[in-house]
Amino acid sequence: MDNQNTLINEVTDRDYRFGFVSDIATDSIPKGLSEEVVRIISAKKEEPEFMLEFRLKAYRKWLTMKMPDWAQLTIPEIDYQDIIYYAAPRQQPKYESLDEVDPELLSTFAKLGIPLEEQKMLAGVAVDAVMDSVSVKTTFKENLAELGIIFCSFSEAVKHHPDLVQKYLGMVVPPNDNFYAALNCAVFSDGSFVYIPKGVRCPMELSTYFRINAKNTGQFERTLIIADSDSYVSYLEGCTAPMRDENQLHAAVVEIIALDRAEVKYSTVQNWYPGNKEGVGGIYNFVTKRGLCKGEYSKIYWNQVETGSAITWKYPSCILAGDNSVAEFNSVALTNNYQQADTGTKMIHLGKNTKSTIVSKGISAGHSSNSYRGLVRVAAKAENARNYSQCDSLLLGDHCGAHTFPYIEVGNQNSVVEHEATTSKIGEDQIFYCNQRGISTQDAIGMIVNGYAREVINKLPMEFAVEAQKLLQISLEGSVG
């Protein structure tokens, strides 16, 4: 037992491994938010009129809204006038090959363990690297273009495909949805845009690495994924951030729209800087992610591994509007030190014969607090809807908290909704069993945690699964990994 405690302490004392600041000149506007700032952002990005209107509408709505306070989180006062709302790298080169890329940037990614060239060659992943807010590198674009797939930065999409953007932007997350979404709508600088045409199966995993870099810069990403009828796409998002003492705000919005028989798989590995051992610093991750199964037989899968951020407020949700649509939410959320996470999902069943599955695994250590908050709503017309939810919590150490707040609202007779949750710690008998077979306590904890999270990690694409497993290990196993 002592051994275990030492180990847990060791784990809890671990410093953030990816802490560094890369020195790239950025072009920012002064701190603060006003209608003027919204206009400047829109002008800088040379946006059409409808985008400016969209932003202003959101901004005016945002002024009337309050920060949500219902989550099991203690959020320090955030001064929204003390944030720079736009920052873009000064050089905006358009590279055709990796040789032209700023070596500083390349080495940053190398430190993160994301060698672009290697991925390009070996994994066949098209990487749209977002450094601060403007996309600086897009690979494999030509290959994708042949199939008619549009995978580009959001600003490019606004320029080249305004009709698509205008049609779908705000369809799933409207500007007045919530406080952070409204803020994002008003000031978002860039993000990714994906459009898969009818009947196309995207041949590779689409991937974006986000990274907050300039000091005091709130990052407001906007992602829009549209899968037209009978198409398929798997999208990967991963992030790590450099060490910083002042808290940074991250309020992204992700919208997914799946039309008839389309399938979208969205996987995230999130490893923003979580603050140091005393809970100083770290990223505030207030994200709105939502998918709309618009067409019949459409499918949306959310897979996430959350290990970073000081405060996480994130509920990737699905609206199952099309008949026979399917949604899945698989999540591993790990909190350590003084991290707080309030995360979960909403499954709104509107169409007939819709099915959703929720698997949420929480791991809390140190002084952290980890909550699952989910809603399953079956509307009266959603006949034969089916939901199964399972949320398990694993506690390491007696100063941490694991909470579960499921909401289940069923409005008709032929739907079946099930929810189960358990909370436990790693059993002494389990560790003893491993010790007995010559496995050290340290390895045993690693094995058990990985086994516990396997169900979710297995859902991730190959490339990500390896990284996710590594992340869990370095987040928990101290010396290992």
Which one of residues 134, 382, 402, 476 is an interface residue with other proteins (CB under 8 A)?
Answer: 402
102/91 Cα distance (integer angstroms): 10
| Strand runs labelled E in 336-454 | 340-343, 346-349, 355-365, 369-378, 386-396, 401-410, 416-425
SS3 41: helix
For other proteins, give the closer residue by CB, 24 or 421.
421
Query: Contact 322/296 with Cβ under 8 angstroms?
Result: yes
What is the closest distance, in whole angstroms, from the C-beta atom of residue 412 to other proteins in the complex? Answer: 5
Which one of residues 3, 9, 424, 479 is an interface residue with other proteins (CB under 8 A)?
Answer: 424
For other proteins, give the closer residue by CB, 261 or 373.
373
Instruction: Output phi, psi for 433, to 5 deg.
Output: -60, -45
Confirm or reject binding of residue 380 to other proteins (CB under 8 A).
yes
Rama region for 170: left / alpha / beta (φ>0; ψ in -120 to 50; rest): left
Query: Contact 332/306 with Cβ under 8 angstroms?
Result: yes
Radius of gyration of the chain, Cα coordinates, nearest whole angstrom: 22
Confirm or reject binding of residue 409 to other proteins (CB under 8 A).
yes
Q: Which amino acid is at 20?
A: F
For other proteins, give the closer residue by CB, 46 or 420.
420
Which one of residues 28, 423, 430, 473 is an interface residue with other proteins (CB under 8 A)?
Answer: 423
Confirm or reject binding of residue 418 to other proteins (CB under 8 A).
yes
Confirm or reject binding of residue 412 to other proteins (CB under 8 A).
yes
Confirm or reject binding of residue 413 to other proteins (CB under 8 A).
yes
Write down the H helix ranges in 417-461: 428-436, 441-457
Considering only residues 52 through 111, tell me which ones interact with other proteins, judged by CB under 8 A. 70, 72
User: In terms of Cα–Cα distance, which of 176, 210, 171, 172 is closest to 190?
Assistant: 210
Buried b (16+ CB within 10 A) or exposed e, 8-36: beebbebebbbeeebebebebeeeebeee
DSSP 34: -
SS3 373: strand
For other proteins, give the closer residue by CB, 176 or 412.
412
What is the closest distance, in whole angstroms, from the C-beta atom of residue 378 to other proteins in the complex? Answer: 8
Confirm or reject binding of residue 404 to other proteins (CB under 8 A).
yes
Which one of residues 68, 162, 197, 401 is an interface residue with other proteins (CB under 8 A)?
Answer: 401
For other proteins, give the closer residue by CB, 223 or 393.
393
Which one of residues 130, 253, 400, 460 is an interface residue with other proteins (CB under 8 A)?
Answer: 400
Contact string (CB under 8 A) for other proteins, positions 283-322, x = contact: ----------------------------------------
Residue 305 forms beta bridges with which residues?
269, 332
Which one of residues 107, 422, 440, 479 is an interface residue with other proteins (CB under 8 A)?
Answer: 422
Which one of residues 141, 399, 454, 470 is an interface residue with other proteins (CB under 8 A)?
Answer: 399
What is the closest distance, in whole angstroms, from the C-beta atom of residue 138 to other proteins in the complex? Answer: 45
Confirm or reject binding of residue 357 to other proteins (CB under 8 A).
no
Query: Contact 165/153 with Cβ under 8 angstroms?
Result: no
Which one of residues 153, 393, 441, 469 is an interface residue with other proteins (CB under 8 A)?
Answer: 393
| Strand runs labelled E in 241-295 | 248-250, 253-258, 263-271, 283-293
For other proteins, give the closer residue by CB, 45 or 386.
386
466/463 Cα distance (integer angstroms): 6
Number of residues that bind other proteins (CB under 8 A): 35
Write down the H helix ranges in 112-258: 116-118, 141-147, 154-160, 162-168, 179-187
Candidates 155-163, 236-244, 250-258, 389-397; binding stretch for other proteins (CB under 8 A): 389-397
For other proteins, give the closer residue by CB, 34 or 414.
414
For other proteins, give the closer residue by CB, 275 or 362.
362
Which one of residues 403, 447, 448, 473 is an interface residue with other proteins (CB under 8 A)?
Answer: 403
What is the closest distance, in whole angstroms, from the C-beta atom of residue 11 to other proteins in the complex? Answer: 14
Question: What is the H or E stretch that residue 42 is in?
Answer: helix 35-44
Considering only residues 16 through 55, tell me which ones interact with other proteins, judged by CB under 8 A. none
Query: Contact 296/311 with Cβ under 8 angstroms?
Result: no
Residues in contact with other proteins by the rule CB under 8 A: 70, 72, 380, 393, 395-425
